[in-house]
Amino acid sequence: MSVNRAAAPGENIVLQDAKTTGNGKAIAIPSSIRHHVFYIKGNGVIGAGAITIETADDPDYAGTWAALPSYTDPTLNANPITVVSSAEKIYSYTGALIAVRARISTTVTTATVTVTYRGH
């Protein structure tokens, strides 16, 4: 797993960069960041695929990470998130987190997915 430095407020960090499989980049989240937004973009015509937004108490944790819950309308903020063709979805979470990643939980077929994180 690729681990990035701690996120800075308002900074875009790419967690999955045109990928079809994998855990992606894990990043540390400073305690000052409480609002988290994940942009999930299908690059091209997607045959299948899903992203699960996950958290752990350490960005280097090697075990099974916890999926973040959906606190709003599940049709708008579901986790895992189905990747859609040539479109972008947003997953948001409010609360304290220590580390996050965007794991490709269902292999993306016929194209790729990019996931970008921004915290405030």
pLDDT, tens digit (0-9, with 9 covering 90-100), for 8-61: 999 999 999 999 999 999 999 999 999 999 999 999 999 999 999 999 999 999
Number of domains in the chain: 1
By residue range, what is the domain housing residue 79? Answer: 2-119
Q: How far apart are CA 111 and CA 87, in angstroms?
A: 12
Q: How far is CA 3 from CA 58, 59, 74, in A?
A: 10, 7, 29
How much is the pTM? Answer: 0.91
Which CATH number goes with the domain that contains 42?
2.60.120
Residues facing residue 56 across a β-bridge: 99
Residues facing residue 94 across a β-bridge: 35
